[in-house]
Structure 1
Amino acid sequence: MIWEVFRQEKAGGYHAHCGNVHAPDREMARQFAAIQHGRRKPTNSLWVVPREEIGEIGADEVAFGGTTDKIYRWATAYNTTAGDASEVVESEDEQATAERRRGDDR
């Protein structure tokens, strides 16, 4: 049986998928997960879940958020002129830099 393992690095942090283990039962899966995934990096806790218990909800089933265009929130969406407040110009430059960085990360 395959068990998926999620690791939390610090208390209060998110659990992130770190791999899986093959084990015949829950107790062995917990022990294998602790050995394979809990001792190499700082670990606060592990979640060990049977693979068949993990469900997926796809975009074809549900409309997830983030599909609405909210460009009005960014200063780059507005036309600025030399007479505008310096804060607006600085914000526009920061947003343009952030967008370039996001593009580089992909």
Structure 2
Amino acid sequence: MNDWPLWEIFVRSQQGLAHRHVGSLHAPDAHMALYHARDIYTRRSEGVSLWVVPSVQIVASQPGDKAEMFEPARSKIYRHPTFFAVPEGLKHL
């Protein structure tokens, strides 16, 4: 079992539209990971969809890269609603 790959598990709840990360597990292949995820993370029928993703396939930024990664967004003020003028008399936006 120590040689089995690690899988990240995402569940979409009955009330939700997005999948949420709920945990990890070891399984020999994607098919078994899906069945183990069902048994472990949806015991009370709270899920309507499962994703299993090999952990080695997930690429993430590091907290130390925050400035390099997110600083360019600050120069794009047009992405913020405060950049646009709201016409007088507009009641619902």
TM-score over 0.5 (shorter chain): yes
The SS at the match of 2:69 is coil
> In structure 2, which of residues 13, 18, 25 is the aligned counterpart of residue 9 of structure 1?
13
In 2, Cα distance between the equivalents of 1:34 and 1:64?
Answer: 40
TM-score, scaled relative to structure 2: 0.60
Taking structure 1 as reference, are residues 48 and 65 closer, same or farther at Cα in structure 2, changes over 3 Å only? farther
User: What is the Cα-based RMSD across aligned positions, in Å?
Assistant: 2.7
| Aligned AA (2:70) | A
5+ residue gaps, structure 1, are 74-106
With normalisation by structure 1, the TM-score equals 0.54
Equivalent AA in structure 2 for residue 44 of structure 1? V
Task: Indicate whether 1:20 and 2:52 are aligned.
Answer: no
- Which structure's CA Rg is the greater one? 1
For residues 11-65 of structure 1, the C-alpha deviation after alignment (integer angstroms, 9 at most, x for no partner) is: 6611111111110111111110111112235111011000101110245141168
Q: After the TM superposition, which segments of 4 or more aligned residues of structure 1 sit over 2 Å from their partners?
A: 64-68
Unaligned runs of 5+ in 2: 76-81, 83-93
Taking CA–CA contacts closer than 8 Å with sequence separation of 6 or more, which of the two structures ends up with the larger relative contact order? 2
